[in-house]
Chain A
Amino acid sequence: MRRFAEAIGDPNPRWTKEAPPTFLVALAAASLHLNDAEEFGHSWLNGGNRFEYFEPVLIGDQVTAKGRVVDVYDKAGSSGNLLFIVFETDYVNQRGERVARLRGTMIRR
C-alpha cells in the first residue's frame, strides 16, 4: 500500500493506515486480459472504472477479490470494430464484509 501511494504520488499520511480510493486494483488484475479477446484487434484501451465503497480497507485487513465478466459486446468504431468487455470485481475482507465493488470496461481494438 505504501508503494502504491508512492507510485500515484499522493503524500496524504492517511494512506499509511487506510487504502487510497483506487488501491484495490492492485490486488488482482483489473484488466482481464483474456486470451480469446486478444485474437481480436491489436491493442487494449481502458474505457472506464466505477468504484463503490462499503467499508474502509485498513492496514492488516485480508481482502479477497472475486472477479467475473458481466458483459461482452462489439460496436462499430471510426477505425473498425471495437470489442467491449465489462467486468465486475467484489472485494471481501476477513470478516466476510464486502468492502468495495469495482466495475470496469476494457476495450479491444
Chain B
Amino acid sequence: MMNVKVGQEIPELVKHPTTRQLVQYAGAQGDFYEIHYDQAYAKSVGLPGVILHGLLKAAFLGQLVTDWLGDRGTLKTFEVSYRGIDQPDHPYRCRGRVTKVDGEEGELEVWGEDEGGRRTTVGMATVRLGG
C-alpha cells in the first residue's frame, strides 16, 4: 500500500452532536427508543439524560475511515463495540491508527473519545486499496 504505514495515525474527526441531531438520526434510522430524545424517560432508566445512539457513533467512525480512504480503496469490514455512554452537547473525537498492512489489505483500529479522553467506542476496519 502506497503511503500507508503501520502505526500511522489517520486524521482525526471531531463531531459536535446535539439533541436535535439525535432526533434527526432517530428519524433517519427509524430507531425511536426514548433514551435518545426523551430526558425524563432516559433518567427513569438510570441514565444521566439522553444519550447518543451507538449506531450514530458508528456512523461517525465510518466517516473517519471513509474520509481517510477517499477513492483509494474500499471498506471491507467495519466493527464497533460500545463501551460507554455519550451525551449530546459534548464533542466526540474520532481517531484511528493503521495496525496492519499486507499487500493491498490494510487494517485500522478506530475509537471514539469523550472530553475526558475515555474511549467510549472502540472498533476495527479492514480496507482494500486499489479497488
One digit per residue, 1 when the CB lies within 8 angstroms of any chain A CB and 0 when it does not, for chain B 56-84 equals 10111011011100000011111111100
Find the B residue at minimum CB distance from A2.
B28
Report the bound CA distance from A36 to B74 in whole Å. 39
Q: Which residues, 4 to 62 on A, are CB-close (under 8 Å) to B?
A: 4, 6-10, 12, 14, 20-22, 25-26, 29-31, 33, 42-53, 56
Known: A10-B59, A42-B45. A52 touches B28 (CB 8 A): no
Pick out which of these stretches binds chain A: B3-11, B29-37, B97-105, B112-120.
Answer: B29-37
* CB pair A46 B82 closer than 8 Å: yes
A22 partner, pick from B30, B59, B74, B77, beta carbons under 8 A: B59
A95 in the interface (beta carbon within 8 A): no
Which chain B positions have C-beta within 8 A of A52? 76-77
Cβ 8 A contact of A4, one of B28, B35, B65, B75 = B28
Q: Looking across the interface, which residue of chain A has its beta carbon closest to that of B59? A: A8
